[in-house]
Amino acid sequence: MLPLSTIVARLAWAALLGSIIGVERSVRRRPAGMRTGFCVALGAALFTIASVEIARLTGDSSTTRIASNIVQGIGFLGAGVILRERGNVTGLTTAATIFAVAAMGLAAGGGLYAVSGIACALVLGGLIILFYVEDWLNLKPRYMLFRIFVDHRENMVTDVHRIFSELKIAIDNFQVSLSGEKNLIQFDAEVNPHQQEKILQALCRPGMNCEMVPVDRQNG
């Protein structure tokens, strides 16, 4: 059997790596924060150690399948953070992060300290650096609130639906109300910068007032 000090060291290392990734999720106010990362990595490491030790004690190598079942279990946990919100899928990044944290815990439980540490650094770097790369390249769509003030005689409702349908963009919370002497058309949509330019060019006309305001929303 492994010395208790070795087991404790592996569990502690796994818990530390999971917590580090969890801090990044917490800072960005995403699900699966520090405590979740701690528990996922620690649990994966413990399953790995237990499966190896049980196999050593019983002589039954089939008990090592416990470690392979970690992947399936983490799949169910990751699926729990993937949601459909306003017609869009959210939580994919968090689910993938949980999967990676479990893999780190499994590696740490197997005594692969350097490998699990490098994996943690790569995942953390990817979550932080690629976030800014997406913003810099304008790749990440943003959830926007659109407000269009139009004269009563203008039939903009049909035009709005046609334009967004052609761009294959889903519209949420569509509302039409009276605002003074004009109609107010208001709705939400997730659009990237390129789509924003096309929408404004298609919607804005003389005598109309178009507003586009970012809306805070968790994407993953």
146 and 131 within one domain: no
161 and 120 within one domain: no
Residue 219 lies in a domain: no
State pLDDT tens for residues 126-167: 999 988 887 777 667 778 888 888 876 667 888 888 888 888
DSSP at 159: H
49 and 15 within one domain: yes
Q: DSSP string covering 46-57, please? A: HHHHHHHHHHHH
186 and 85 within one domain: no
pTM, two decimals, is: 0.69
Please give the C-alpha separations between residue 119 and each of 5, 38, 116, 218, in angstroms, as whole numbers: 24, 16, 5, 25
State pLDDT tens for residues 36-61: 999 999 999 999 998 888 888 887 77
Q: What is the pLDDT of residue 41?
A: 95
Q: What is the pLDDT of residue 205?
A: 74
116 and 48 within one domain: yes
Q: How far apart are CA 108 and CA 41, in angstroms?
A: 9
Counting the structural domains of the chain, the total is 2
Q: What is the pLDDT of residue 215?
A: 74
